[in-house]
Structure 1
Amino acid sequence: MYETREIKAHGHTVRVNVDPAPEREDRPALWPTVGEYPIYDQFLYSTMTTDQERNERFLAALAKLAPGRRVLDIGTGEDLLWARASLQTGARNALAVEVIEDAFHKAADTLTALDQHDQITLLRGESTALQFAPKADICVAEIIGSLAGAEGAAAVLTDARNRHLTPGGLVVPHRAVTLAAPVRLSTLLPGQPVAFAEASLPYLQAIFDWHGRPFDIRLRIEHPHTDALLGDGTPIEVLDFNGELRTEQRTTTRLTITQAGHVDGVLTWLNLWCLPDEEPLDALRMKTNWASIYLPLFGEPVPVTPGDVLELTVEVALSDDGIHPDYHLGATLHTTSGNKHHGSLTSPHHGGPFRAHPVYQALFPAA
């Protein structure tokens, strides 16, 4: 059973349905997406610094690329993680950039205590607004979202390649892809209420406070069961950080239903390569801090059978901040019986409506 709680956000009272059961690694949990917003705390940082799947890949890339070179670390965080790792793998020096004020001050304290403090330069601000010299040879940036581009990686790293890197400079990671598969939300949370995990409420409130009002936040599913997928994962967003990197894109794909069930949206997840020839990190099937994002499409679940096809168009366009993208989805479900069902979703980084879709009306009940 769920409980209904209230949170306050700039004078707005928001009712939220909450699952009070303790979180476990073998139990799915519903959270708001968090990586796109400047609300990082010790818990969120620790989930990244202890992410073995992620860290091994970034370290392997730096060990290959960083020796003897100047490294730019965008979004260095309070631990200066990749700036420090760059020096440990042989970099000549590192420039670390952090925009969040609290994280910057903690990073400054961390830097003071380092033996190699004179080899790291720490700057506060957005890398897209900073100027510095000399340029870097390697840029490392862990600004990849559970939706690959959601944290602004395309815009930030396009700017870094154009202004901050030497000719022939390289970016770590190498490539990020968002995949999607048809699902039903309630099946992703089997035997559980469709409600936010209790531990997620402070982050939900922090995001609404940051924005100044509530909005339909993207929905993060932790530890989803892969048997809830009604078809294979198909790429809907591709970011080639050392190739043709597009800040905006439009993709149309066909997701074939492979097992009977009901569909009301898609589950998306990340595949990430830090080096071009490695096995990718698969956020759906590996233990990592990246989770999956559920995107609703239909107001009511639609029954499907094998052979039905979900035609999905995804448009990624920069929001009004010029950094973080908005996602626009249009879907047509073609059934083998000849019927068509249409669905859509506009999922902005910030702003937009509140309680516009039935799933949000259920999560945030009216007074």
Structure 2
Amino acid sequence: MRIEYHRTLIADHVRNQAFHDALSRVIRPGETAVADIGAGTGLLGLMASKLGAREVMLYEAAEVAGVAAATIKANRAGKTCHLMPCHSTEMDDPPRVDVVVSETLGNYAFEENIIDTLADARKRHLKDGGVIIPARIRQFAVPVVSDRIHRELVVWDSVGFGLDLSVARQMSLNNAYVRSFTADDLLDGGRSAKVWDTVTLGSDTKGARKGEISWKLDKAQTVYGFAYWWEADLIDGITLSTAPGAPRTHWEQLYFPLEKPMTLEAGESVLVTLRSRSSEEAGTHLAWTAVHFDRDGASKSRQAMDLDKGWIP
């Protein structure tokens, strides 16, 4: 792995400040033991050490663990910071700590398996009454009513030369895309965003997530897909968000397209069901289904998109 990925994390001052603020609220200088899970270059573990943690265990299984080791040495933090070059779930009889912190979040919140990791951490790493950061994550979605990204994805239609590229077009529309949205792209300027899933980290153990939400439109509009983002409560009172209007981070929103735009009249509704499944072995699977209902609640059309359909066989 190139260091560039980690540079983008270190450059995210909003993220860094939020985690620093959360750690400062729970660390008791000279007393608190901390586990930094997925430590990367060691930033959060070193923050904890600077804040007075008695002991910090840094778990990192990737090659960047070597950078973390050198960084700990450069900061003369070797007395408190102990690098464990393994995944936290692989550690036999791990030392118990007062605080577990893990920034293993992606544009899709759970693509790095933070649910499984922190469920194991609560069971085997954390002392009774200890703190997990982040504490919980809410996942949001809202219809996209701008054709801006849709036009980008259906370029297959305009290649010309008498060619039919509809097979590739369909595959393009069965992918999730990292994009940034503005209020103009979203239904009701994004104010209609709804929570479709909430996870309490450490307690919830299901890597398979499913949620269903719907919107009734008060005027005729065309829906091209759905925007996704998350909010993470690091601790009570400190929240990190990837929403379009939130302070900018290195994360962006996701776009879940429709294969065919849905044109809804006033009083009609659209429902979306979102499903995900994440595991260390199989990676992240995403699927979403949208249904267009008329004013009387009868289904007018249904579309089912699946990330697996977007892979080239």
1:256-296 CA distance string (max 9 Å, x none)? 34554322321101212112234553432121111011112
- Comparing 282-291 with 330-339, which one deviates more in the overlay? 330-339
Tell me the SS of whatever aligns to 2:115.
helix
The answer on whether the counterparts of 2:118 and 2:202 sit within 8 Å (CA) in structure 1 is no
Deviation at 1:329, TM superposition (A): 2.0
Q: In structure 1, how many angstroms separate the alpha carbons of the residues matched to 2:218 and 2:53?
A: 48
Deviation at 1:186, TM superposition (A): 3.5
- Structure 2 matches for 1:123-202, cutoff 5 A? 123-183=84-144, 186-188=147-149, 193-194=152-153
| Other-structure match for 2:268 | 308
Deviation at 1:167, TM superposition (A): 1.4
Tell me the SS of whatever aligns to 1:314.
strand
| Other-structure match for 2:45 | 83
Whether 1:330 aligns to 2:289 is yes
The answer on whether the counterparts of 1:316 and 1:327 sit within 8 Å (CA) in structure 2 is yes
Structure 1, gaps ≥5 residues long? 1-38, 197-215, 357-367
- Structure 2 matches for 1:1-367, cutoff 5 A? 41-67=2-28, 68-78=31-41, 80-101=42-63, 103-183=64-144, 186-188=147-149, 193-194=152-153, 218-221=176-179, 223-231=180-188, 232-241=192-201, 243-244=203-204, 246-257=206-217, 260-278=220-238, 280-286=240-246, 287-296=248-257, 298-319=258-279, 321=281, 324-336=283-295, 340-347=300-307, 353-354=310-311
Deviation at 1:195, TM superposition (A): 9.3
The answer on whether the counterparts of 1:149 and 1:239 sit within 8 Å (CA) in structure 2 is no
Tell me the SS of whatever aligns to 2:178.
strand
Deviation at 1:318, TM superposition (A): 3.7
Deviation at 1:144, TM superposition (A): 1.6
| CA distance 1:325–1:355, shift in 2 (3 Å) | closer
| CA distance 1:137–1:354, shift in 2 (3 Å) | same
Q: In structure 1, how many angstroms separate the alpha carbons of the residues matched to 2:153 and 2:175?
A: 15
Q: Which letter does structure 2 place at the counterpart of 1:88?
A: K
Q: Which letter does structure 1 place at the counterpart of 2:61?
A: V
Task: Tell me the TM-score normalised to structure 1 length.
Answer: 0.70
| Bigger radius of gyration | 2
1:53-72 CA distance string (max 9 Å, x none)? 22222111100112221111
The answer on whether the counterparts of 2:207 and 2:279 sit within 8 Å (CA) in structure 1 is no
Tell me the SS of whatever aligns to 2:107.
coil
Q: In structure 1, how many angstroms separate the alpha carbons of the residues matched to 2:43 and 2:268?
A: 46
Q: Which letter does structure 2 place at the counterpart of 1:271?
A: E
Give the share of equivalent positions with the same residue, in percent.
22
The answer on whether the counterparts of 1:258 and 1:306 sit within 8 Å (CA) in structure 2 is yes
Q: Which letter does structure 1 place at the counterpart of 2:47?
A: A
Deviation at 1:147, TM superposition (A): 2.0
Size of the aligned set, in residue pairs, is 288
Q: Which letter does structure 2 place at the counterpart of 1:87?
A: S
Q: In structure 1, how many angstroms separate the alpha carbons of the residues matched to 2:118 and 2:233?
A: 15
| Other-structure match for 2:165 | none
Relative contact order, higher structure (CA 8 A, sep 6+): 1
Task: Tell me the TM-score normalised to structure 2 length.
Answer: 0.82
The answer on whether the counterparts of 1:317 and 1:325 sit within 8 Å (CA) in structure 2 is yes
